[in-house]
A and B are shown apart, each in its own frame.
Chain A
Amino acid sequence: MKYSAFTLAYEALRGHADWKPAWREPEPKAEYDVVIVGGGGHGLATAYYLAKEHGLSNVAVVEKGWIGSGNAGRNTTIIRSNYLLPANTQFYEWSMKLWEGLERDLNYNVMVSQRGVLNLCHSDAQRDAFARRGNAMRLNGVDAQLLDHSEVRAMLPFLDYDNARFPIRGGLLQRRGGTARHDAVVWGYARAADRRGIDIIQNCEVTGLTIRNGRISGVETARGPIRAGKVGLAVAGNSSRLAAMAGLRLPIESHVIQAFVTEGVKPVVDCVLTFGAGHFYISQSDKGGLVFGGDLDGYNSYAQRGNLPTVEDIVEGGVALWPGLGRLRVLRHWGGIIDMSMDGSPIIDRTPIDGLYLNAGWCYGGFKATPASGWCFAHLIARDEPHPLHAAFRLDRFAAGMVIDEKGQGAQPNLH
């Protein structure tokens, strides 16, 4: 049933008796053309675009738990394309464009809210670096505005301007950036993919990859083997473990990043805000909770929890930036396991195994990439050749030196 205000009103009169499951729960078939491993946003989006853009619907998405139970449901819901390096700028801008039409594309309100993303700067050098990035964005057709101190102050009068350890000098604003409702993205893609015939198979952990003569032929799962001509891995956080099943080592470490939400309050901030003198970013959800995060804990981890030093560091940044936060309360904090790549940029590429494709290395920025990641990965899998939008996200770029290192931190994942 199509979702609309009309159907909602109609169903309200009928006691909501007709709503059907948003997606089926099919038994896995013995064979598919394509199996996507990972029922997060990226995997489901890949499946959706395989069907929509490439006419491939004999596709299964296999998920070890429930769809969206990994990072898709743990992130801070920010969408933006305010990158410096052209490979990233162009890719994330394509993602922004897909976000902008996603509700109608999926017939699902994923609550894309383009309320602006503002990065604050606190020194002349940082402002110049932001100018460099803002200009790069403009050259790539992305909106960017460099605000000075007074423009920031007019926009966000409640920040600490007069007693700050690191005074706010200005900021880089992308007005088209903002947030989207993370769970809705998962459910919207799942529903739309399901309606195009794709099988979403939950509670089906992949335990092995079947490879013969250097070519993939299927996956072993907790619910039995599934044959497939092509297999795409979209399991950020666990990419190394899955790749190891194919004998591959990746330029990736798994790290934990924490996120926080406060109790709900009436609207206090209407953009996404990042502090430039500490690791802290914040936005307010439609329910009123302030959603925030900051730096990684910094050590390899597969445990979905963080530790106190990082909690303190992040909150200190928040209260330093915005002293009025002090009396609000953290309701919940949690951790997600992310693929930190060696240059801080993602990988969407073929692997040395024929028919095995890799979508990985999303660091802390995978959510905003969801539409473009799925769109590009679908293209790669369907055509067996990269689309120009993600051609730079190669697996061999490290050996060749074609790193995409936004922050210039080098091969140390916890610094990106």
Chain B
Amino acid sequence: MTQAPASSASEKRSFQPYRLPDGGLIDRSRPFRFRFDRQSYTGFAGDTLASALVANGVRVVGRSFKYHRPRGIFTAGSEEPNALVELRQTNRREPNTCATTAELFDGLVATSQNRWPSLGFDAMAINGRLSPLFPAGFYYKTFMWPSSFWEKFYEPAIRRSAGLGRAAPGDDPDEYEKAFAHCDVLVIGSGPAGLMAAVTAARSGARVILAEDDFRLGGRLLAERMVLDGRDAASWVALIEAELESMPDVRIMRRTSIFGVYDHGQYGAVERVGDHLPEPPAHQPRQRFWKIVAKRAVLAAGASERPIAFAGNDRPGVMLAGAVRTYLNRFAAAPAMRLVVFTNNDDGWRTAADAINAGLPVEAVVDSRPDVRELPAAARSGTIRVFRGAQIVQAKGVRTLRAVEVIDAEGRATSIACDSLAVSGGWNPALHLTCHLGGKPQWRDDIAALVPKTAPPGMAIVGAANGAMTLADCLRTGADAGVRAAVDCGFTAKTIALPRAGDDSVAVTALWLVQGKGKAFVDFQNDVTAADIALAVQEGFRSAEHLKRYTTLGMATDQGKIGGVTGLAILSELVERSICEVGTTTYRPPYTPVSLGVLAGHHRGKDFRPTRLSPSHQWALERSAVMVETGAWLRAQYYPQPGESDWLETVSREVRTVRSAVGVCDVSTLGRIDVQGADAGVFLDRVYTNAFSSLPVGKARYGLMLREDGFVMDDGTTSRLAANHYFMTTTTANAAKIMQHLEYCAQVLWSDLDVQMVSVSEQWVQFSIAGPRSRETLRKLVDTQYDLSNEAFPHLAARPVTIMGGLNALLFRLSFSGELAYELAVPARYGDAVIRGVMAAGEAFGITPYGTEALGVMRIEKGHVSTNEINGQTTAHDLGAHRMLSTRKDFIGRIMAERPALRAPHRPVFVGFKPVDRAARLNAGAHFLPLGAAATAENDQGYMTSVAFSPTLGHWIGLGLLQRGPQRFGERVRAYDPVRGGDVEVEVCDPIFVDPERVRLNG
């Protein structure tokens, strides 16, 4: 691989001009075709998109954020700042995808982003020429005049030019799922340290999860020409991998990123199940979100290389030295024809050696250190020019690197023609996960890097992630941590012999910035230069946090993995304080970006939240019921019949039928709580404002509960089924909350009381059977030995009965509608049979099923309060329920309900409203103003809580809260509703619109 690539325009790009003739962990028998920016290329199985682009000699792959400078592939990992592409198309389009981690598959389509009209010619590149106008924070200083131009002109222009890729245009078609995993030892990373940790922990008997971001185990071992126990690295990895695969208590999770550390040993992980395929396989998710609970964790996340800031250090062809080795060794792809290496550490020399080994000409090695100890054989042989104590002051070329300018130790300038520059500024340990629970890193001078200072509880940090930079150290620290983790989990350690491995020097002498003319980039993606940092410091942004926020350093998709430490180092030199003193910014989860889809899992669309269905649901559907979401429930809203033109006609018919004959409504959504115990009555006396210990067995009573702060919490009816046995109902909305509240009262406040409770909401289905013919209907349903006459079973009676020939049921004579009415509860599994039984029993009497709308209309006609009135802001006095506040006992909320503001005379009080023009429609949410008063807050006297069209009265009616309402019956006020264009004159009235004498109820 020494000849230049063929450039015939007619030639199909089926061959890969920069692919090395042999080597690499790619499968040359499986060529994959792919497209980048409409151009077709070929790569191999085992490639990433980036390595395939390298093999095809594609140089420019993206444009930068602000200056739209052409950029090339810079890394070989998830820290990639430049090679971000839109992967896939239409609704599967994923913007900002790292080409360096995207696995190649046959048919892959990728598009460059943030350029117009094309990657080769980007009109926005004019920003680069105007860059003196766009220094750090320029937008804070301008765009202020004229002020209306910000939203109209400046901001839209900024927004259009900002952003990176384009989001998918429509709904994400793929599925996601969530899973839990538990283990003794979670090993994060499968480089030499991680593999040793996993294998030692597993051999000791621990349940191990080994999570690896990549699709192959091995970490840096895949990218280096290293030897362990006499084998090449890849075959050593294969050996360990085979052993781990054979162990039943080991789970290897490839393509799995541990993205966050959460409290008490919980780790967030994303497994990319189908991202390496054109589409996820049938019945498989695209990605899976794992919540891993681990007793111990070993962080072996390695390190990432950092660049050196110098003029033009972003030119396509400049690449991190370690990435050059990855492309050469792992992917057999040559990033260069003529390579120059610029390094401040020994590791950079490996790149020169590997390039020579791959047959690539190395033009020069520029080492900033004057006293480099050892040189690779090739350098010693004199085929490479070596500059010691020298620096590259400029990289030249626009769309590809053409030459570098070297200033040698004596200050002489030399220009070296080249097409590729491998840069190594040292390595930053991947310590991010150690900071998620608040850990701060510390500076280590010997490796010129931040290392973890503390670890999250239960985590050990090994290998390069902890600053152990040689292979031997990685293996040793990994093995030690694996043993310790297993022992901590109660296993007996099995020690193993460490593989023999090299202990190459990794000496580094910090070099952050080479002064020179031209833009020296620190954060590549966000176009933050060394000059921007200097300007920020000049303007007083001298802390790490201020610098980050003012310049956007470290806020790009790589989250500062490329430029963060370099930026801090430049800052610390400028302010003449140590890196520790200037502080670091906080590393936040996720370690690498995580799709929202996977965090949501299957909780979207109809499955966003569970749907609760009543046992009569299927029956209701058969009756063509229109369903409505009511909290977690789906309820029948109304039951249209053929010929009915709209909901109002249907609902009115349902109401009229109930008021004239009989109707049935499923009220199973009410909370039901079974309360038992010798002190159950006393207990209920304390949680309700009114008394329940005095309630006779066989009777029900309406009860009101307050919160401890004195406001109304809930209402409902509670029945006494036996001396020590009560059956409570709560509102639908508050069922869970009341259960929790009662348990609190019983367990915490009054644990001395003999009372137990259990929610039986799920166990019973409950129907309201209402209307003048409800008794006759029930008579056909309830077994004959039960007397249902008004005398034997009066209003508020509550008793167990049997129905339909022996089925146990609870029958309550309760009325929400104001009619003669019952509620019948039966075990939930009989719900379907019983609703059909009720309908059959009522057929002769003209029974109708009715839904939540008719239920609401009738309760408004009767002036009953509901959730609209019990909204957490109202008191018993507000609701006209003050007579329910017992003065003979204590109850929750009694004391605080007496606070002056809760008893203030100006508080709006519950009353009814009728439109003066009876044809007018009312709207809930309207506010009440005195007639003729201006529409101002001062004149606001209350608001409408509930409205309905009353078929009984033939006009709209409303309930609401009005200042001094009960004293103002007959007075007219404005119901002011500007958000719906309404302004209706209404008359204040008694909230009970129908049957105030309660004749029907007791009929």
A: residues with CB less than 8 A from B are: 3-5, 7-9, 12-13, 15-16, 19-23, 25, 65-66, 68-69, 73, 86, 89-90, 101, 103-104, 107-115, 122-123, 125, 127-136, 138-140, 144-146, 158, 160, 163-167, 172, 181, 183-184, 187-188, 202, 262-268, 277-278, 284, 286-288, 303-305, 307-308, 311-312, 315-320, 323-334, 397, 399-403, 405, 407-411
Contacts and interface: CB of A to CB of B under 8 A. Distances in A.
Interface in B892-913: 896, 899-902
B144 A264 contact: no
B743 to A, nearest CB: 16
A330 B940 CA distance: 45
B978 to A, nearest CB: 5
B155 A111 contact: yes
Interface in B610-627: 611
A286 B873 contact: no
A265 B630 CA distance: 36
A319 B173 CA distance: 12
Given A135-B925, A401-B902, A9 B165 contact: no
A135 B141 contact: no
Contacts of B107: none
B886 interface: no
A8 B138 contact: yes
Contact of B140 (A65, A122, A187, A304): A187
Interface string B526-561: 000000000100111101011001101001010100
B745 to A, nearest CB: 15
B611 A165 contact: yes
B96 A327 contact: no
B169 interface: yes
A107 B170 CA distance: 41
B436 A327 contact: no
Give the interface centre of B549, B550, B902 by most chain A CB atoms within 10 Å.
B549
Contacts of B77: none
A138 B983 CA distance: 13
Given A138-B979, A319-B596, A327-B595, A3 B900 contact: no
Contacts of B164: 263-266, 288
Contacts of B901: 397, 400-403
B947 to A, nearest CB: 8
A283 to B, nearest CB: 12
B710 interface: yes
Given A287-B552, A288-B163, A410-B872, A135 B927 contact: yes
Interface in B553-604: 555, 557, 559, 586, 588-590, 593-597, 599-601, 603-604
Interface stretch (B87-95, B462-470, B720-728): B87-95
Given A23-B540, A399-B899, A408-B871, A287 B176 contact: no
A167 B801 CA distance: 41
Given A129-B925, A401-B900, A330 B594 contact: yes
B926 A135 contact: yes
Contacts of A130: 925
A312 B601 contact: yes
A7 to B, nearest CB: 7
Nearest to A127: B925
Contacts of B163: 264-267, 287-288
Contact of B940 (A86, A316, A327): A86
Q: In which size bucket is the chain B interface? A: 35 or more
A8 B943 contact: no
A84 B293 CA distance: 43
A76 to B, nearest CB: 15
A78 to B, nearest CB: 16
Interface string B918-947: 000001111100000001110110010000
Contacts of B597: 319, 325-327
Give the interface centre of A5, A12, A264, A400 by most chain B CB atoms within 10 Å.
A264
Contact of B608 (A8, A108, A136, A320): A320
Contacts of A89: 937
Contacts of A8: 133, 138, 141-142
B30 interface: no
B373 interface: no
Nearest to A329: B593
A113 B150 contact: yes
A112 B155 CA distance: 10
A278 B597 CA distance: 16
Nearest to A114: B151
Contacts of B162: 264, 286-288
B459 to A, nearest CB: 15
Report the 3 A-B pairs with minimum CB-CB distance, sorted nearest first. Answer: A408-B872, A131-B925, A288-B163
Give the interface centre of A4, A320, A323, A326 by most chain B CB atoms within 10 Å.
A326
A315 B599 contact: yes
A138 B978 contact: yes
A324 to B, nearest CB: 5
A386 B925 CA distance: 32
A8 B159 CA distance: 21
A135 B709 CA distance: 28
Given A135-B943, A264-B162, A326-B176, A400 B600 contact: no
A198 to B, nearest CB: 15
Contacts of B977: 131, 135
Interface string B861-903: 0000001100111000000000000000000000010011110
A277 B174 CA distance: 23
A405 to B, nearest CB: 6
B95 A263 contact: yes
Given A188-B140, A401-B901, A123 B172 contact: no
A173 to B, nearest CB: 10
B819 to A, nearest CB: 24
20 contacts: A20-B538, A109-B141, A123-B629, A128-B868, A128-B925, A130-B925, A132-B926, A133-B925, A134-B978, A135-B943, A264-B164, A266-B164, A267-B160, A308-B266, A319-B172, A324-B167, A324-B170, A324-B171, A326-B171, A331-B559
Contacts of B535: 16, 19
B262 interface: yes
B281 interface: no
Interface string B696-711: 0000000000011111
A109 B901 CA distance: 44
Contacts of A21: 538-540
A102 to B, nearest CB: 10
A366 to B, nearest CB: 18
Contact of A139 (B155, B165, B940): B940
Contact of B980 (A103, A146, A409): A146
A132 B165 contact: no
A401 B899 CA distance: 6
A165 B611 CA distance: 8
Contacts of B171: 160, 323-324, 326
A374 to B, nearest CB: 19
Contacts of B604: 160, 316, 319-320, 323, 326
A139 B595 contact: no
Given A287-B162, A326-B596, 17 more contacts: A12-B135, A103-B147, A103-B150, A107-B144, A115-B151, A132-B926, A135-B978, A287-B555, A311-B268, A312-B601, A315-B599, A316-B608, A318-B600, A319-B600, A328-B595, A330-B590, A401-B899
Given A136-B940, A303-B438, A73 B925 contact: no
A132 B595 contact: no
Nearest to A306: B262
A408 B878 CA distance: 14
Contacts of A73: 545, 549
A308 B262 contact: yes
Give the interface centre of B156, B552, B630, B979 by most chain A CB atoms within 10 Å.
B979
A5 B266 CA distance: 50
B12 interface: no
A138 B155 CA distance: 29
A4 B593 contact: no
Nearest to B543: A66
